Amino acid sequence: MDLAAGFGHLDIIKFLHKNHPKVIVYFLDQQMAVATIDEAASWGLLEIVKYLHELGDIKCNKRAIENAVNCENFTIVKFLLTHRNERLTSQTIYIAAVANHKDILNEKVLTDFELIKIIVSYQEGIYEDIRCWFGNGEMAIKWLTLALEYPFPPTDIMERKIEYFSPLGLAVLSGNLAAVGSIIKCKPHLSCSDIVEYALGVQQTQIASYLLQQQNSNLKLVYSIHCRALRPYWTIDTSYDFFLSVIREDNEELLKLLIVFFNGKYDGVIVGSFVSVLQSRFYKCALVLYELYHDEILSQNIDLVRIAIKSGHLDLIIRLHNENATFTSDTMNVAASYGHLNIVQYLHENCSEGCTTRAMDKAAANNHLHVLKFLHANRSEGCTPDALINAVRFNNLEIVEFLLSNRPEAFTPDALFEAVECNRLTIFNCLLDSNMFEFSVRAFDQALSKDQGDFVLCYIQAFPQQIAVDTLVPKALEYARFKVAYELVNAGYPLKLPNNMRWCILHPEALELFQWLVSHGIELHPLWMDLAASFGTLELVIFFHEKCTAGCTTDAIDGAAKKNYIAIVQFLIENRSEGCTEAAFKSAVRNRSPTLFKLLLENYPEKCSDSVAADAIKLSWS
């Protein structure tokens, strides 16, 4: 019957039930039919589910509805909820919530959910406090999602703490202090470490404070990443992670409650996490920790001033300065590098150490124009050419313009080369427009080398007297700088070819270039087909065959044979009449290619000398 239900054979099930009642009675008595409705539900077989239900004695377990949810058969789900009493499981609700099956999470289903049964068993009135949360299932989805994500991304529902799925956990997550109070009043023993930890973790300050007030003795910390059965203890890593998780919104009130919760047992963790708190820019919490654990923090072997500067914590910097901590000229440099203008201003007004040129250089490199302007207006250290170089390198146009206009010591002819090297065309034009730069052969050659046609064209327009324009296109083509050639020709410069087109033929975009040359009326040279064949570029060989009236020479097949390009040799034999020389046969022997040798021998036997034929025979080629 179980197999029949699984495969949807309703007629077989009816036959078995009608003709073999003793078997069915035994089957039912042994409770072996529990999986029958489950199987039918898992395959979405509503008619069989109904029939088995009508038999009266056949039971199913809670997996029936879960199976129906899995296969998204809501009709079966509703039928089972309406006619059966096996109820849902938490796994079923989880599947429905994660898959966003709101049809499953309707009010009727949720009121049948075992959690509700637990809730209403507490005391009169509590259920009414939280009934509205269920509504059409939205709160259940939110609750399950958040509970699973705390404190780390979900792995499996069974690995999360079961306390978070209790009525009290729901009340905590929802921030309903009244409901929490009602439940705790009814069940005081539920106010334990787990629920306090949960309230702290989900940022419920008032509820965490209330729960801590209910404690009559010290709490025992039980937080762990996985379920308690797997890791029933705290470790340094887990307590550290928990600490940072609680203060992730820089809530100093939560921090103070957490310290009460820790009860002095984890001061080492708190002090050890101070740098992370500071680097995470939890400014309020960092200051509270510094005040509470002042001596312990200072006893650590860390450069606290530098860390506070990088983190931008002005209040802590002021506190450290008032305590006569060590400040140097590099302190303002670091503040400028990280763009903390308020700290730069404070140091400028209150510290005698000043800064160095590094302050302006780093502010320029990191695009902190506001800091750069302050240093320019209020400090005398100035900058170095590195400021301009770094501004160009990191594409900070406003800073480049500011330095060119206000800081003459930042000028360096290397800025043009840097703009070309980093492909900063807008900044390159800005540098040229300033009229501060002379022609740089190094920068121009770099633009040509990198095939940057737009840069080359801008350079020509800026320095027309320094560049021999007539030689540019041939030079670009000689080294296969196609973009430069296209840009120049399109701008009206004469199209002339170099003597050596070898690199053009070797280029991956060679076909497009020669098509472009033909479109501009350039006559193709027979040497080019020879080179294309030698380099193994079949599509280029075909193009030259179709467009080059001068054809090719015997070097074409000889060159292709030398590299064993059989397809090119085959094409040339079938489409050209130039033939080959003995060199092609020698190449076939040298390459140990009997296929090529036979192909040549069939078409040009007269070119095969006796000595070459003898060499082929030695290789056992017939």
Least confident of 18-32, 138-152, 158-172: 18-32
The set of residues, in sequence order, having a beta carbon less than 8 Å from that of 94 and lying 6+ positions away, is: 144, 157
When pLDDT is averaged across residues 233-238 and rounded to a whole number, the result is 50
Least confident of 51-60, 340-349, 446-455, 459-468: 51-60
Q: What integer pLDDT is reported at residue 447 of this predicted model?
A: 92
Q: How many CA atoms lie within 13 Å of 384's alpha carbon, on the beta-carbon side?
A: 8
Selected residue with higher pLDDT from 345 and 29: 345
Distance CA 599, CA 397 (A): 64
Q: What integer pLDDT is reported at residue 339 of this predicted model?
A: 96
The tens digit of pLDDT for each residue in 55-73 reads: 765 555 556 767 776 666 6
Average pLDDT, the chain: 79
For residue 233, name the pLDDT band (cuts at 50, 70, 90).
very low
> Which three-class secondary structure state does DSSP give residue 496?
coil
The tens digit of pLDDT for each residue in 416-427 reads: 999 999 999 999
The tens digit of pLDDT for each residue in 607-617 reads: 999 898 888 88
For residue 534, name the pLDDT band (cuts at 50, 70, 90).
very high
Q: Is residue 526 part of a domain?
A: yes
CATH code of the domain in which 558 resides: 1.25.40.20
- Tokens 């509700």 — which residue? 116
Q: What integer pLDDT is reported at residue 562 of this predicted model?
A: 93
Q: Is residue 76 part of a domain?
A: yes
Q: What integer pLDDT is reported at residue 266 of this predicted model?
A: 83
Distance CA 557, CA 52 (A): 82
Q: What integer pLDDT is reported at residue 216 of this predicted model?
A: 52
Closest Cα partner for 509 from 543, 458, 556, 550?
543
C-alpha Rg value of the chain to the nearest Å: 41
Distance CA 323, CA 316 (A): 10
pLDDT above 50 (res 211): yes
Work out the end-to-end distance of the chain between its first and last CA atoms, rounded to an integer number of angstroms: 74
Q: Is residue 561 part of a domain?
A: yes
Answer yes or no: are the C-beta atoms of 78 and 64 closer than 8 Å. no
The tens digit of pLDDT for each residue in 312-352 reads: 999 999 999 999 999 999 999 999 999 999 999 999 999 99
Which is it for the CA torsion 395, 398, 403, 404, positive or negative?
positive
Q: What integer pLDDT is reported at residue 177 of this predicted model?
A: 87
Highest mean pLDDT among 26-30, 113-117, 367-371, 432-436: 367-371
Give me the helix-helix angle, 314-322 and 304-311, nearest 10°: 150
Q: Could you tell me the residue range of the domain that residue 101 belongs to?
A: 1-108
Q: Of the candidates 108, 128, 147, which is a domain's last residue?
A: 108
Domain count, the chain: 2
Least confident of 217-226, 269-278, 341-350, 460-469: 217-226
Q: What integer pLDDT is reported at residue 596 of this predicted model?
A: 92
Least confident of 111-120, 135-144, 517-526: 111-120
The set of residues, in sequence order, having a beta carbon less than 8 Å from that of 433 and lying 6+ positions away, is: none
Return the percentage of the chain with pLDDT > 90, whole number: 47
Q: What integer pLDDT is reported at residue 361 of this predicted model?
A: 95
Q: Is residue 562 part of a domain?
A: yes
Closest Cα partner for 171 from 209, 138, 133?
133
Q: Of the candidates 108, 132, 154, which is a domain's last residue?
A: 108
Look up residue 551 and give its two tokens. Answer: 């054809």
When pLDDT is averaged across residues 510-539 and rounded to a whole number, the result is 91
When pLDDT is averaged across residues 163-192 and rounded to a whole number, the result is 76
Q: What integer pLDDT is reported at residue 241 of this predicted model?
A: 78
Distance CA 64, CA 8 (A): 15
When pLDDT is averaged across residues 462-487 and rounded to a whole number, the result is 88
Other beta carbons within 10 angstroms of residue 171's beta carbon come to 27
- Most distant CA pair in the chain, distance: 113
Look up residue 58 and give its two tokens. Answer: 């056949």
Closest Cα partner for 587 from 616, 610, 552?
616
Distance CA 141, CA 340 (A): 42
Look up residue 436 and give its two tokens. Answer: 């501060």
Q: Which long-range contacts does 84-89 make (Cβ < 8 Å, 24+ apart)?
A: 84/53, 84/60, 86/59, 86/60, 86/61, 86/62, 87/62, 87/112, 87/113, 87/114, 88/62, 88/112, 88/113, 88/114, 89/62, 89/63, 89/65, 89/114
Highest mean pLDDT among 20-24, 114-118, 458-462: 458-462
Look up residue 263 and give its two tokens. Answer: 């009860």
Distance CA 418, CA 428 (A): 9
When pLDDT is averaged across residues 189-199 and rounded to a whole number, the result is 81
Give me the helix-helix angle, 341-350 and 329-337, nearest 10°: 160
For residue 94, name the pLDDT band (cuts at 50, 70, 90).
low
Q: What integer pLDDT is reported at residue 165 of this predicted model?
A: 56
The tens digit of pLDDT for each residue in 356-396 reads: 999 999 999 999 999 999 999 999 999 999 999 999 999 99
Rama region for 264: left / alpha / beta (φ>0; ψ in -120 to 50; rest): left
pLDDT above 70 (res 124): no
Which is it for the CA torsion 443, 449, 450, 455, positive or negative?
positive
Q: Is residue 409 part of a domain?
A: no
The set of residues, in sequence order, having a beta carbon less than 8 Å from that of 422 and lying 6+ positions away, is: 392, 393, 395
Closest Cα partner for 540 from 519, 501, 514?
514
Which is it for the CA torsion 570, 574, 575, 580, positive or negative?
positive
Which is it for the CA torsion 597, 602, 603, 607, positive or negative?
positive
Q: Of the candidates 87, 108, 129, which is a domain's last residue?
A: 108
CATH code of the domain in which 101 resides: 1.25.40
Q: What integer pLDDT is reported at residue 114 of this predicted model?
A: 45
Q: What integer pLDDT is reported at residue 351 of this predicted model?
A: 92
Highest mean pLDDT among 2-16, 155-169, 362-376: 362-376
Q: Is residue 617 part of a domain?
A: yes
For residue 621, name the pLDDT band (cuts at 50, 70, 90).
low
> Which three-class secondary structure state does DSSP give residue 563?
coil
Least confident of 227-236, 259-268, 382-391, 605-614: 227-236
Q: Is residue 319 part of a domain?
A: no
Q: Is residue 214 part of a domain?
A: no
> Which three-class secondary structure state does DSSP give residue 234?
coil
Other beta carbons within 10 angstroms of residue 473's beta carbon come to 22
Q: What are phi and psi of 233, to 5 degrees?
A: -155, 165
pLDDT above 80 (res 90): no
The tens digit of pLDDT for each residue in 548-570 reads: 888 899 999 999 999 999 999 99
